[in-house]
Amino acid sequence: MNHIRSTVACVIQQNGRYLMVEEARGGALTVFNQPAGHVEPGEGPLAAMSREIKEETAWQVTLTDYLGLYVFHTPDGLTFHSHGFIATPKAQLNTPIDSDITATHWLTLQEIEALNAAQRLRSPLVLKRIIDANSGHRYPLSVIQE
């Protein structure tokens, strides 16, 4: 039985660059994504986002805005409800990152667009969230009632 997967992802920008994670996808291939992950049982989207950013990037951030709910259907029939966020970086922590993350990068929009052209982004939502954030598409965090 298929069920909807609830996820979170965050656009984090500093000095014209975006914080991205490089993830192992089996073999030598890696893909790029925003800090993102699944909402765990007993957790809401805000708490999940803060946790995922810390686990995947070792950055402490301030969540500032909600981009909205992105619905994504994969070719193999999975459905994801992905909560998009915007955050500002505060400090880099001296903590280890998840083993699935091979590296973190601060990339320009042009570098991310090149990764998209090379089909190296985790999903089409990666670039869409950045474009939406840059166009001013945002809501107050208070729209989420946890």
- At residue 18, the pLDDT reads 98
| Domain extent listing, the chain | 4-138
Q: Strand, coil or helix: what is 66?
A: strand
- Specify the pTM: 0.94
In tens, the pLDDT along 52-85 reads 999 999 999 999 999 999 999 988 889 999 999 9
In tens, the pLDDT along 11-57 reads 999 999 999 999 987 666 799 999 999 999 999 999 999 999 999 99
- Kindly give, in sequence order, each residue whose CB lies less than 8 Å from that of residue 104, ignoring residues fewer than 6 positions away: 19, 20, 21, 22, 56, 57, 58, 59, 97
- At residue 25, the pLDDT reads 76
**In terms of CATH architecture, what is 4-138?**
Alpha-Beta Complex (3.90)
